[in-house]
């Protein structure tokens, strides 16, 4: 049974959770309470095989942090607000299951930072993405300066961050920021299709693979490869590995239990 939230809607079905930021009147802007609720919702759904993150309405995924809340902030309050965002985005990276961003409109500032903390990003044709914080006299505060450069490279990330300009869905695909661009009506069905496929794979293997990619990215290649070899070997002592290989030999779909 899902917890009831003020600004977030959680739906769980067939080992897939859909978490929707539900503040359409403010284009799903992230205030402190919404960040806390999202963090709680993601933790609640960590035992699912995949999580889809999206926004309510037909205009925005998340149009950024709530500027009205930020206006009176002191530096200390701003640091606390930033930490809320960092806790959430780090949690998305550390989840043992796949996190999929279904970007159905504006993904600006904190919204884009939320998306790039996910494992996969699919966007609707009407999507606009950007980190416009410099136009407000601040930097990105939820990890955008670090994750964006790891996705698209230093030069393209600097252009987006320094100018604050928005890019459309096709440009996002061109620079490797997103996995695919879809007609709006196909976005959520496509994300569910991908999530359903992931849900049929070995959950321990998916969790280990995610950890290897995330932690190995900044490690020397040989050290990262040693971690991969260790994970590969450890998974041989699991019921899922035995079931997966036996099912392959027997030419039948595997039934993974996460053990």
Question: From first to last of its 259 residues, what are the pLDDT tens digits of the chain?
Answer: 567 899 999 999 999 999 999 999 999 999 999 999 999 999 999 999 999 999 999 999 999 999 999 999 999 999 999 999 999 999 999 999 999 999 999 999 999 999 999 999 999 999 999 999 999 999 999 999 999 999 999 999 999 999 999 999 999 999 999 999 999 999 999 999 999 999 999 999 999 999 999 999 889 999 999 999 999 999 999 999 999 999 999 999 999 999 9
Left (φ > 0), alpha (ψ -120 to 50) or beta: where does 28 sit?
Answer: left
Among 236, 233, 230, which Cα is nearest to 212's?
Answer: 230
133 carries an active-site annotation: yes
> Among this protein's residues, is 93 annotated catalytic?
no
Point out the catalytic residue in the list 11, 113, 159, 243: 113
CATH number for the domain formed by residue range(s) 203-249: 1.10.12
- Between CA 48 and CA 83 the distance in angstroms is 26
Q: Which 3 state secondary structure label does DSSP give 207?
A: helix
For residue 257, what pLDDT is reported?
95
Catalytic residue, from 11, 125, 133, 228: name it. Answer: 133
Query: How many other CB atoms are found less than 10 A from the CB of residue 254?
Result: 17
CATH for 8-199, options being 3.40.50.920, 3.90.226.10, 3.40.50.740, 3.40.50.1820: 3.90.226.10
pLDDT at 113: 98
Q: What is the pTM of this model?
A: 0.95
Domain map (residue ranges) of the chain: 8-199, 203-249
């Amino acid at each position: 049974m899902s917890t009831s939230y003020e600004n977030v809607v959680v739906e769980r079905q067939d080992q897939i959770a859909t978490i929707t930021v539900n503040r359409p009147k403010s284009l799903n802007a992230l205030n402190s309470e919404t960040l806390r609720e999202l963090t709680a919702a993601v933790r609640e759904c960590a035992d699912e095989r995949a999580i889809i993150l999206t926004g309510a309405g037909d205009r925005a995924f998340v149009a950024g942090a709530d500027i009205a809340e930020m206006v009176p902030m002191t530096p200390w309050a701003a640091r606390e607000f930033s930490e809320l965002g960092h806790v959430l985005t780090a949690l998305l990276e550390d989840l043992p299951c796949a996190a999929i961003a279904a970007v159905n409109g504006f993904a600006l500032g904190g919204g884009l930072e939320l998306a790039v903390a996910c494992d996969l990003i699919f966007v609707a044709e009407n999507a606009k993405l950007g980190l416009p914080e410099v136009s407000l006299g601040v930097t990105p505060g939820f990890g955008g300066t670090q994750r964006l450069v790891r996705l698209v490279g230093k030069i393209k990330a600097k252009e987006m961050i320094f100018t604050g300009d928005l890019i459309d869905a096709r440009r996002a695909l061109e620079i490797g920021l997103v996995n695919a661009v879809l007609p709006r009506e196909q976005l959520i069905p496509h994300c569910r299709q991908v999530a359903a496929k992931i849900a049929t794979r070995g959950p321990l293997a998916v969790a280990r693979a995610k950890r290897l990619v995330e932690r190995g990215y900044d490690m020397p290649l040989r050290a990262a490869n040693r971690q991969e070899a260790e994970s590969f070997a450890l998974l041989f002592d699991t019921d899922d590995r035995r079931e997966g290989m036996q099912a392959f030999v027997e030419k039948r779909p595997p039934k993974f239990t996460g053990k």
